[in-house]
Each structure stands twice: as structure tokens, then as C-alpha cells.
Structure 1
Amino acid sequence: MMKELIESQKSKQNTNRHGLMEQLQIVLGIWVNGKCYFLHNSAEKVIYEEGLILRIKPEPIHSKIRFFSVYISNHSNIKKDIKVIVMHHFSNVNTDSLTFISPAEGKIFHVHDHKVFLVNGNFNGAGLSEYTTIPLWSAYTDQIWSSLENGALRYQPMAKGPAASIYTVKMSLGSRETQKMNAWTISGSSKKELILIEQALLKNPLAFPNEK
């Protein structure tokens, strides 16, 4: 009976964790030429006026990790200097939620219902160029920028309650070129656990087949 109770509790905890993982939504966007475009409720967005296509594909890695391959294609005849925007926020939050940037690790964390989530990404082995947190009601407005013209985020290290984290990754796309970056969310019970899982992820050849 005791074993059954323990297994039942573990199953419930796993269900709760996966439920929260699903609630922590990822929303992609592109900043280009002083304008911002978001991909909503879709795996692909075509920005016709810029000749750009943004696609996201989930990859199975580990039960505690949601891993995504992100592809950006330039179908125009000119080079494009862009920033990929990666936003995370809970679909169902309460006032106990906390979103913050840890300066020591240079990483973004979400805390909700006694669970901790790390969100991160990279491009060609390089990490994030800029990141911030912001109240959720400002997440899809120009208030996320200190300069929309230059694609510079307005820095805020912490936000409590309904909030979003945002980071950007810079890249240049030649004519008819496609580039790929990765984004991930890791769930756990502490920052230390998440960082250890991420270190193992970064050494995983299935996630990063072309990196040593």
C-alpha cells in the first residue's frame, strides 16, 4: 500500500510538472528594419514585406526539457540583419508567479506553483544577446523596447505576477539563406538542478549534432 501511495504521488507530481510545462508558452517573433512581428498560435509565419519565413519545430529530448529548433529563411534578394525574439509566459498565472534574470548565471527563470523553469537558447554556439522581463499586459506592445528602431530591449530584471520573459538572438541572413537556432525550457525544483540539466543538454549530440 505504501509503495502504491508513493507511486501515485510521483505520478501526480509528474502530471503537475508536465501541466505547468505546457502552460509556459513560447512565442516567437522577428525584429527587422525597426518593426516587430510575432508568431501567434502557429508553427510558421511568413513576413511577406520582408521576404522572411519563421518556423518552429519541437524536438523530443527529455521529460524535463522542451526543446525547439527554430528556422529563419530569407527569400529576398538582399541581406537581412534581424533579431529573433523569444518570449515565454504562463497561460494561467497567479500573483505568486515570479519571473527574473539571474545576473550570476546570465539566465532567465520563471517560478510558479513551487516549480522553477529555466528558459534559454543559442545560435551557432553563442548565447543570448539581450533579455528582459515585463508585465504580461505590456508583452506585445512597443513597451518592450528601449528603442524599437534599433531593436534594443528595455531592461527590467524582475517582474512579479502575470509576466513574460523576452530574449533576442542576433543574426544576419544572406539572400536565399536559412539559419537555425535552438530554444529550450527546463523544469525542476531548484536553480542548481536546472543548471546541471542544461549543462548535460549542451553536451547532448542529439540536441546539438554539429557541436563538440
Structure 2
Amino acid sequence: MGPTPRARSSSWSDCWTWASTSRWWTSGSDGWCPWPGARRWRHTTPSSCGGTWSVAATARAGRRPAAPRHARRPRGRGPFTIASVRSERGRPQLLWLPAVLGTVVAWGVWGVVVRAALDGLDWRLVATLTLGGYALCLLLLWAVARPPLPPLDAPRLAGALSLGVLSQVGFFAFYRALEVGEASVVVPLSSLYPLVTLALAMLLLRERLTRLQALGVAMAVAAVLLLAMG
């Protein structure tokens, strides 16, 4: 079994419990959880490498735990399992930071490589070869990860296909812009696309922008324009 959690602060989010697959059992109310009747669900599952792993969930009395919210490093030789980011004493664990850094590096190098490819090739050919690279990556993903296939109804299928169409329209326009323009200008200006997302979110989803967020958007726009003009 996993280690018993230490005493936490009085917030409900810190009344975290242990959960996993297979069956569940409750140990009754615990003194470290301030809500009356709260129960701790706990279970661990052996990993394929000889270790164990467990993830966190929360539950009130008489209720089955919700979906896992946190993952811990396995004991033994088991692999890491990351479910989401949780906060401990008000400080979030930046589990997403390596993925973001990888995105920044990959896309930054991609902007230079695609500009070099467009020097000797037509943008339509570059776009076609890019789609071939996407297909190769998808085949590797399915071969290694083998994600589950949920049932696809018509709305979900149409939404997924529309994402592909919108993505490729944007890439085609981007390749065309890079063919006739400088990467140092085209790439920063194309980074303004979150403004469209922001406007649509405010118009369709009724989301509101705080003053601090509006200031951040204005500073980001100014920075992109200065980079493009410089």
C-alpha cells in the first residue's frame, strides 16, 4: 500500500485521497480531513516494471471517488505517472513545464527549417510533405501509446474533421506568407492568432477579460509588433 498522507491544510482540495483501478475500500473518517464524514479511499496497483503507483482523488462519505487528480512517483522500478498539476501549500507543481519548453523549442526550430525549405521548393509541395510527416508521427503514436477509441458520433466526428481543416488552412497560409516574406516578420505576426481566440471566447462563450489580462494582451501585441518592425 502507498504511504499514509501527512496532515494537510484545512482546504477541501488538500483533503486528497488515494485511488487507483481495481476495487476500492474505505478506512473511515480521518482526523486530517476537516469535513465531517469524509472518507479516504485507498488502493495501489502493481506496475508492469515491479513497482506500484497510486493517484489522488477526493470523496465524501458514501460516494465513490471522482476521477484521479494527482499522480505520485511509483515505488520500486515503476514508471512515472502524471495525471495533472496539484498545489501544495499554495505552490503549483509545474509538471507541464517540460512539455511547454519542448513545444517552444520544436516550434522555434520549425519556423527556421520551413523557411529554408521554401527557398528551393514550392509552398504547396512543402505543405504536402509536412502532412506526410504528420502521418508518420501519428502512426508512431498509435503504435507506441495505443490510445483507447471512444465511440464517435456525427457531431464529434465533424468537430474533429473541422479542426483538421482549420489547422491546414492556417498552415497553408503560413507557408505562403513565408515563401514571399521574411521569417523574422512572418513568425511574430502569426503569433497574434490568440487574439482571434480571445475575441471568439468573449463573443461566443461569454468569457470576460480582467484588467490585468487586458494589460497582458496589450503588452504582448506591442512586443510582437516591435519584433516585426525591428
- TM bucket (normalised to shorter chain) is under 0.3
TM-score by length of 2: 0.26
Structure possessing the higher radius of gyration over alpha carbons: 2
TM-score by length of 1: 0.27
Between 1 and 2, higher relative CO (CA 8 Å, sep ≥ 6) is seen in 1
**Greater strand share, 1 or 2?**
1
**Greater helix share, 1 or 2?**
2
